[in-house]
Structures are given as C-alpha cells and as structure tokens.
Chain A
C-alpha cells in the first residue's frame, strides 16, 4: 500500500488564485517526519519543509503554508496568491523513525501545478 498519497495528479490555476495540494500518509510509527519538495521545470528537487509528528502547529512561510492534521493523516500545502514561478511538480514525503542504517523516504507520486498567467 502507498505510504504517501497525492491524489491530485495535475492542477491548473490562474495567477493570484490560492491553491492547496493534498497529501495523505500512512504509518504505524508514532514518531515520523513529513516533507515537501518542489521540482521546477529545470528538474532539480528543492527541499521546502520538514515537520515532525509531535508538532501539529501550522506553518507559514511567505505565500506558503502547511496544515498538518494527525487526525486525518494529512499534511496539505497551500500556496496563496499563486505566481507563474510556482509552476512545478510538488512531492510530499514520509520518513519513519530513523535507525542507525538511515532514514528511508517514501515519496508520493507528485502533483503537477501549472499557474496560468
């Protein structure tokens, strides 16, 4: 079973609209970490945020905000007043409690966001 599900394959919005990217995860661990990455058309993967399972506070960074809800196993990402530069594929990832052998990441299949000028 998928540990991370990003049900939205592609989203298109008009510039300045708000958009929310959904991420649902599955784990039996009580300690885990959630991440979001951005992959612009140039192809590199850019780390955006890390959140641990004990911190359910929402986080805002400029136009970006993240809503973590353990009750629904979701870690959604909202872009406010979207811009063309936000066009990218966004990946959500889960990492369960680390061991000395490394922390495996489980990635969702990504959501491709297109912001139309």
Chain B
C-alpha cells in the first residue's frame, strides 16, 4: 500500500469555522492531489501540487486553499466552512511523469461534516 496518511479521519465542525486537513506521504512522490467525493458526482479535483510551493486549482477550488511546504505534506484549508463542503475528502499522490501518466494512489479519506 502507498504510504499516505490523512488526518483527521473524521471531523464534525460548525459553519464558519476554519478547517485544515492534512495529507502526509512517505513515498517521496512529486504530485499530490485533493479530491472531494459526493453522491452523484464521483470524485472531483479541488487542488493539486506538482512540487513544493507549486500548486494549482482543480475543478471545484472555490472556498478551498492549499499549501505544500514540504514534499511529504499537502494541506487543504477551508477558510470558513459551509454546509456545502460536507463531503468525503481524499488525498492522492502520483510519481514523477516518466513513461506516461502514472496512476494516482489514494489515502483512506477524511469524512467532514459541517453543521
């Protein structure tokens, strides 16, 4: 199994509070991603990173920010959580581009509930 740890695994919080989710990898992979999974939508990309301090927006980035100060850590922050951000969040990693696009490997997910 890819060495990916997401924390916390579960969180319940109130609307308007800031929330930070952490993704930690031990694989030294260059690329890291944050997705959210919602019924009827599959997985949608929030933000991704292609190196330390290098990040870019995905399909559903509004209301989220990310930071990557070290290769192994990728943080996702909800500055002011809203109920629409209740979801399951997955972190993924993939290797340096070599012979084609490599598969992404996923963490176990964080279930976030915003009341």
Residue contact A47 to B50, C-beta cutoff 8 Å: no
Query: Does more than half of chain B's interface fall in helix, strand or loop, or is it mixed?
Result: strand
Interface size on B, residues (CB 8 A): 29
Rounded to whole angstroms, the CA-CA distance of A86 and B82 in the bound complex is 36
Rounded to whole angstroms, the CA-CA distance of A19 and B109 in the bound complex is 28
Query: Does A102 sit at the interface, judged by CB under 8 A?
Result: yes
Give the distance to chain B from A3, nearest Cβ to Cβ, in Å: 10
Query: Does more than half of chain A's interface fall in helix, strand or loop, or is it mixed?
Result: loop
Instruction: Name the contact of A47 in the complex, choosing from B31, B49, B105 (C-beta under 8 A).
Output: B105
Known: A47-B105, A52-B100. A100 touches B50 (CB 8 A): yes
Chain A, residues 6-24, CB within 8 Å of chain B (1/0): the string is: 1000000000000000000
Chain A, residues 95-109, CB within 8 Å of chain B (1/0): the string is: 101101111110111
**Which residues of B are at the interface with A, using a C-beta cutoff of 8 A?**
31, 33, 35, 40-45, 48-50, 54, 56, 58, 88, 90, 92, 94, 97, 100-106, 108-109
Contacts A45-B43, A107-B43 supplied; 7 other A-B pairs, CB < 8 Å = A45-B92, A98-B100, A101-B56, A102-B33, A103-B94, A105-B45, A107-B35
**Which residues of A are at the interface with B, using a C-beta cutoff of 8 A?**
6, 31, 33, 35, 37, 43-45, 47, 50, 52, 91, 95, 97-98, 100-105, 107-110
